[in-house]
Amino acid sequence: MALEKDVKNIEELISQITQAALHQTVAYVWKRSPEGITVINEKVLILRVNERKELKIQFLDDVTIPVGEDILFALEGGILVFKSKVLSCTGRFATLSIPSMAKGIERRRSPRVSYKYEERIDFDIEIRNNVTTAFLLDLSQHGMCLSLSDETVRNLRLEQKIRILRGSKGVSPTECIVRSIRVFKGAKIGRSMMYAVGLEFV
């Protein structure tokens, strides 16, 4: 069952978009007419968010969309959807507005148990033959969320498989698939930013 989750502010929204760009997450823009007919439906690449907090994207083909047009922007799987306005569009490149608030979709099939980062419940995980330690943030029947440093996250991609080597809370060694990566606010090791990485048990 899918549950709606508010993205609280534009900073969190920009963080999620930036992570999607870093991990090359597929995105789409589309628009329907008042009659419900899809008049725009394009796969796009996320380039960056500029200093004016505007979203730069690239279409796979030349596209003409009038400036000022209202469209919808979505990350693959509907993990983030928001209404946007076209600020510029030339050839394959466009600039979109970013709203102050948007809806993200959190998909969970079973209840989760949350743990405080300060509890330091650690797991050993293997990513591309490298072993590192991660800390448990939440756990459910079908998956878990771990806290990882930005150095480790650089080696991760969405849909990538990693392996839990040693853990606790009844979790045996197992393979997982990376389903989400987001900034874990308020947690740092030294100067290193921490990330919350959502995993699904295979």
**Would you call 187 exposed, middle or buried from its count of C-beta atoms within 10 A (0-12, 13-18, 19+)?**
middle
Using left for φ > 0, alpha for ψ between -120 and 50, and beta otherwise, residue 190 falls in left
Q: What is the CATH number of domain 112-201?
A: 2.40.10.220
Count CB atoms within 10 A of the CB of residue 87: 16
Residue 3 has pLDDT above 50, yes or no: no
pLDDT digits (tens, 9 = 90+) for 113-151: 777 766 778 888 999 888 998 888 888 778 888 988 888
Tell whether domain 2-106 is in CATH 2.30.110.10: yes
Q: 143, 132, 137: which is closest to 121 by C-alpha?
A: 137
Q: What is the mean pLDDT of the chain?
A: 80
**Which of 141, 143, 138 has its CA nearest to residue 119?**
138
Of the listed ranges 37-41, 92-96, 97-101, the one predicted with least confidence: 37-41
pLDDT digits (tens, 9 = 90+) for 30-65: 887 776 566 788 889 999 999 999 999 999 888 889
Give CA–CA dist 158/154, Å, rounded.
11
Q: In this predicted model, which residue has the larger pLDDT, 165 or 32? A: 165
User: Side-chain half-sphere of 84: how many Cα atoms within 13 Å?
Assistant: 28
Domain ranges in the chain are: 2-106, 112-201
